[in-house]
Amino acid sequence: MRGKSHIEWTESTWNPVTGCSKVSAGCKHCYAERMALRLQAMGNERYANGFAVTLHEDLVEAPKFWKTPRVIFVNSMSDLFHEKVPLEFIKKVFATMRACPQHTFQILTKRSDRLVEIAGQLDWAPNVWMGVSVEDSRVVHRVNDLQRVPAAVRFLSLEPLIGAIDDLPLEGIDWAIVGGESGPGAREMKIEWVRSIFRQCRKSGTAFFFKQWGGVRKDLTGRELRGRTYDEMPTPRDPEARRLALLSA
């Protein structure tokens, strides 16, 4: 079950898990929850449980049958590191990613505490990118957790950006995606917050991707910053070298 994505920084989505629960302020207007409940109302069998965490065992190996290389966002409708997703299931997802070197897999979590707790038990293939969501300065600790993970690419989703983050710990962070909240009840993103992150990325050499200004009608606000679009992508590193560096630190 592969979906072509409208998310600017990826190409496809793969959802072996659906459903989640709110953990911080960035979750307030969750797009995935709105979508899940809409699909449930439409009778979609995958969302019979609404937005409750649901494992789809039959989708775990789906990428093995996608021969054309693509960039895949893993669990756009959930969080792979949710406490209700068993470790053994997560290992199966990582085994599939290892078995599909033709693809690039992007994983994003708000549960960095569990990520760092079990990272040593996971198989970090060179095509696995790991990211954390950071919506404001109250959850910057997620970046510190990510820095302890030996992924080929470590990235930040600073979306929805709902507050200033003027002291991001960007050492070892390869990519930063910035975006404002969109849809019903969207909260404002101030231009000075974006400019601060842009300057920090330039200083650290972190690739910068500006996704959107957001708002109730994001199609009207666009995604230009400083008179242009920023679609920078990261350069993957050697995950084994990162693992050894973490062990020796």
| Strand spans (E) along 96-170 | 104-109, 128-133, 153-158
In contact, 148 and 119? CB cutoff 8 Å: yes
Domain boundaries, the chain: 6-21+28-248
Q: How many CA atoms lie within 13 A of 21 on its CB side?
A: 8
Q: To 5 degrees, how large is the angle CA 171–CA 156–CA 144?
A: 50
pLDDT digits (tens, 9 = 90+) for 194-226: 999 999 999 999 999 999 999 988 888 999 999
**What's the predicted TM-score (pTM) here?**
0.96
Task: Give the residue from 28, 24, 16 showing the smallest Cα distance to 77.
Answer: 16
Q: What is the pLDDT of residues 131-168, one digit of tens each?
A: 999 999 999 999 999 999 999 999 999 999 999 999 99
The gap from C-alpha 128 to its chain's centroid, in whole angstroms, comes to: 12
Any idea how long the chain is?
A: 249
Q: According to the model, what pLDDT value does residue 1 have?
A: 45
Cβ distance 220 to 184 under 8 Å?
no
Residue 3: per-residue pLDDT: 64
Whether 2 has a pLDDT exceeding 70, the answer reads no
**CATH fold label, 6-21+28-248:** TIM Barrel (3.20.20)
Task: Give the mean pLDDT of the chain.
Answer: 96
Q: Are 21 and 53 in contact (CB under 8 A)?
A: yes
The confidence band for 111, taking pLDDT boundaries of 50, 70 and 90, is: very high
Label residue 5 by pLDDT band (50, 70, 90): confident
Rg of the chain taking only CA atoms, in angstroms = 17
Residues 183, 81: Cα–Cα separation, whole Å: 26
Predicted local distance difference test score (pLDDT) of residue 65: 97
Q: What are phi and psi of 209, to 5 degrees?
A: -125, 115
Q: Which residues pair with 73 in a beta bridge?
A: 13, 106
